[in-house]
Amino acid sequence: MSRIRAVIRHLLGSQETGLSLVVLLLAVALTVLAGSHVDRRTGELVNNFLNSNTLIQTATDASFFAIMAIGATVVIISGGIDLSVGAIYALSGVSMALTLRAAGPLGSGAAVALGLVVALGVGLLCGVLNGALVVGLRVHPFIVTLGTMWVLRGVAFVITHAESLLVPSALTAVTKASLGLGGGLYPVPMVCMLVMTAAGAIYLTRTVMGRHIFAFGGNLEASRFAGLRLDRIQIGVYAVSGITAGLAAFLGASFYGSSSSADGQGYELYVIAAAVVGGASLIGGKGSAVGAMLGAILIVLIRQSIRTLHFDQNYEWIVIGCAIIIAVVVDQWSTRLAARRLMRAGARTQAAA
């Protein structure tokens, strides 16, 4: 019984629970305010938001950001930041499309496997490059990844000559598989988002490497004295970020059927916003994969609400920017509150002694 109470207290006190409630309240508000329409096929009255097509599409839009936000959260937990995820997304997608074009006709399975390997491989190489530059040059990650963002985007532009490249229909058939739902519903990106969230949560909370990342971001000097391989940790977190961007590029290019050097522009804002809104602290040592997913869903719901309620879409940037500021302020406030509690607890212990 005491264990159940402890679990309940932990859930009620966790940031993910609060974020889930915010997502739920926003979804309820959208359901109430969105209005209804008559379905042409069935003739039934359908809510403009609370219907299977809109919900799956919202989850699909969130999936690409969420997958990259999980990798970005790993970087942010370590005390770094990655501004190049959008450029890695673009370069991974066009590299996959060019490789499949050069390979010629392939079977469905071979095309999917080759495309996935290329997208993940390019993402991994870009992530390792970021990590190696951060470690080798001893320059702040903001500057390094800002530079690689432009370099990688430029490489994608040069190798494609600014053309949009089609990907084989076999890839689209996989990412647009109905999985038995039918009705034009494509849940594969959503399923991949959930799988990656579970994998990210296990990696961060159940593995030695995950604990090392939290230690690195929480207290660098203590990690150094503990004998942790700091260079390896830094390169590793950027490699994870690159892999998640490569996976998102594979899903995005396959889902929409094409890839170009312009893909992923502005994704840096959404990805970092999802990570920060999801509870990742920009000073390091705090964050979760589940929070990153919920942050991505919340941001996509904000975008969806602006469209559904027919507001000016230019307000989208204003709202997301305000959400980032509020999330950072709340994080700093909670950190200060926790520090005060620890000081008071220490003072009581000394007084009792």
Cβ-based burial of 316 (10 A; exposed 0-12, middle 13-18, buried ≥19): middle
Model confidence over 324-347: pLDDT tens digits? 777 777 766 766 776 677 677 666
In this prediction, residue 10 has a pLDDT band, given cuts at 50, 70 and 90, of low
How confident is the model at residue 180, as a pLDDT? 78
Domains in the chain, start-ordered, CATH in brackets?
50-343 (1.10.3470)
Ramachandran angles phi, psi of 166, nearest 5°: -80, 150
- pLDDT at residue 57, rounded to an integer: 87
- In sequence order, what DSSP letters do the residues of 121-140 get, joined into one string? HHHHHHHHHHHHHHHHH---
In this model, does residue 314 exceed pLDDT 80? no
Residue 234's pLDDT is: 93
pLDDT, tens digit (0-9, with 9 covering 90-100), for 250-295: 999 999 999 999 998 888 888 998 998 888 888 888 889 999 999 9
Q: What is the pLDDT of residue 346?
A: 64
The confidence score (pLDDT) of residue 45 equals 80
Decide: 152 and 263 in contact? Cβ < 8 Å.
no
CB 206 within 8 A of CB 98: no
Q: List pLDDT tens digits, range 83-99.
A: 999 999 999 999 999 99
Q: Is residue 168 within 8 Å of 107, Cβ to Cβ?
A: no
- Share above pLDDT 70 across residues of the chain, in percent, rounded to a whole number: 90
Q: Per-residue pLDDT averaged across 221-241, rounded? A: 89
Q: Mean pLDDT across the chain, nearest whole number?
A: 86
pLDDT score for 339: 64
Q: What confidence tier does 236 reach under pLDDT thresholds 50, 70, 90?
A: very high
pLDDT at 43: 73
Q: Is the CB of residue 217 less than 8 Å from the CB of residue 75? A: no
| pLDDT confidence band for 296 (50 / 70 / 90) | very high
- What percent of the chain lies above the pLDDT cut of 90? 48
pLDDT at 239 over 90: yes
* Those residues with Cβ within 8 angstroms of residue 341's Cβ, 6 or more apart along the chain or in another chain: none
The 10s digit of each residue's pLDDT in 106-149 is 888 899 999 999 999 999 999 999 999 999 999 999 999 999 99
Q: Which residue has the higher pLDDT, 214 or 41?
A: 214
User: Is residue 216 a contact partner of residue 223, using CB atoms and an 8 Å limit?
Assistant: yes
